Structure 1
Amino acid sequence: MNSRKVVFLFFSTMLVAAVGGTIVGVTLNYEAYVGDGFANFFFGLIWMLGACAAISATAQMGFFAYLTLNRLALSLFKTKKLWNRVQIFLVAFVFFDLFYFRYLAYASEGDSLAGYLITPTLLLIYAAIVAYFKQRETHSGAFIPALFFMYVITTIEWIPALIIPEVDGTSWVWIYLAPLLVANTWQLMALHRLQRK
């Protein structure tokens, strides 16, 4: 990796995350954007693009933090097999944390635990799909680190949206998650392609 590729990765990640997050944001809040005329739609669109681009900066910090953590952990645990087991344990822990502790913290009377299982499960399925494609394009040892990054690191980056009280239903939880997922997927799949070049 040279500085030119790092700059390309930075700006391309910001662009795809801004576009992806804006599509989700406008879809979830369509009436708010279209209801008050073209000016409101235009400035709302610009604001949403800026907000999603800013969220992508969090994803980029998380990506480079994971790359550093991965190298540090490989030297600390001595074997890749042990570090992979630790990552699998952390994925399971975060999965449990995402549904059970959120249920304890936010469930109102009549809410079922099963309702809180949907989001962590869908996120895990998405992370596994991305990890599968990463493994297919690189090598078999890439699956667990990719799964860990897409699930655990994305969840850590998502925490600011998970802990704020609901302002506009639950839409901000998804508006915040969309650019994170797009940015992290893009970074993960672009890294080995840039290195090959």
Structure 2
Amino acid sequence: MTIRNWFKFAFRALIIGGVVTGLMSIIVRWGDFYAQHFSNGEWGEAFGGLLWFVFLGFTMSMICQMGYFAYLTVHQIGVNICRSLTLWNWIQILLIIVAVIDVILFRFKPYAHSANDWLLYIGLLVVLIIAASLTAIKKVKMTGKKHILISSLFFMIFVSVIEWLIALWVRSSGGNEYITILLFPIIAVNAFQLLELPKYNAKSAEDIKKREERRKARSEQEDQNTKVKKTQEENQNNKKTKRK
């Protein structure tokens, strides 16, 4: 990927993370934060809170981008070690199951003190799995390669859970709100990266091809100019010789 296209890709992912986090903060924390400031005419505090969540979304987007490129490396290493895509897919399925069980037993259960807590946690996990499944299916349709379904699910579920741990570890006041808010930018940014990266790679290949064509044309033009200049010099030399 060229630097220009990588910058466009990273910038779009950054914006998606910031916008989604900002919108989710308004939805989740409207009653206990935004509504109070708006009713009291404290517009600066409300805007400052929104801006803080947007920058939090930028941070999550950067984490997701690092996670995606780390996943690409791990995926290639896993395929090479297993020497079989089928075996690597089974390992990924096992890791997905382990990640889901870990979240339920060690991240949700110790802090689920009521039925509402369980309803929230399981609901968010279902949202993650459904979003991951839809993204993976779309990826298969875009590429026409059925074997990437498991890899796509692995990235969207396992890697997203790893990135989600940042919020799952927050168990102070407002912990559930952060768990809810930060899940959605993770899903949005990861889905964008999984679906859109091939387009930027193709655009980079096209840009490189055009660059090589321009370089070749420039080289040919320089050769032509050199030949013309050489011919002119030879003609001038011939004229001088005839005069003598």
TM-score, normalised to structure 1, is 0.91
CA distance in 2, matches of 1:189, 1:100: 31
Deviates more, 1:2-11 or 1:70-79: 2-11
SS state at 1:140 partner: coil
Distance 1:174 1:118, change over 3 A: closer
Deviates more, 1:23-32 or 1:12-21: 23-32
- Contact 2:167–2:175 under 8 Å retained in 1: no
1:118 aligns with 2:109: no
Give the match for residue 27 of structure 1: 27
Deviations 1:28-73 (A, max 9, x none): 1114124323222222222211111111111111101101101111
Distance 1:104 1:20, change over 3 A: closer
Deviates more, 1:99-108 or 1:12-21: 99-108
Is there any run of 5+ residues in structure 2 with no aligned partner, and where?
204-244
- Contact 1:100–1:113 under 8 Å retained in 2: no
Give the match for residue 52 of structure 1: 57
CA distance in 2, matches of 1:25, 1:111: 23
Match of 2:134 among 129, 134, 145: 129
Deviates more, 1:55-64 or 1:112-121: 112-121
Distance 1:64 1:120, change over 3 A: same
- Contact 1:34–1:40 under 8 Å retained in 2: no
Deviates more, 1:13-22 or 1:94-103: 94-103
The equivalences for 1:94-113 within 5 A come to 94-108=99-113, 111=115
Is there any run of 5+ residues in structure 1 with no aligned partner, and where?
none
1:192 aligns with 2:193: no
Distance 1:169 1:113, change over 3 A: closer
* CA shift for structure 1 position 195: 2.1
1:92 aligns with 2:77: no
CA distance in 1, matches of 2:46, 2:115: 36
CA distance in 1, matches of 2:152, 2:164: 17
CA distance in 2, matches of 1:147, 1:193: 20
* CA shift for structure 1 position 165: 0.9
Give the match for residue 11 of structure 2: 11
Letter in structure 1 aligned against 2:34: Y
**Percent of aligned positions that are identical:** 28
Match of 1:142 among 145, 148, 158: 148
TM-score, normalised to structure 2, is 0.74
Give the match for residue 225 of structure 2: none
CA distance in 2, matches of 1:164, 1:57: 19
Deviations 1:86-123 (A, max 9, x none): 11111111122222333442233x65997454332331
Q: Tell which has more relative contact order, 1 or 2 (C-alpha 8 A, sep 6+).
A: 1
* CA shift for structure 1 position 131: 0.5
SS state at 1:58 partner: helix
Letter in structure 1 aligned against 2:189: A
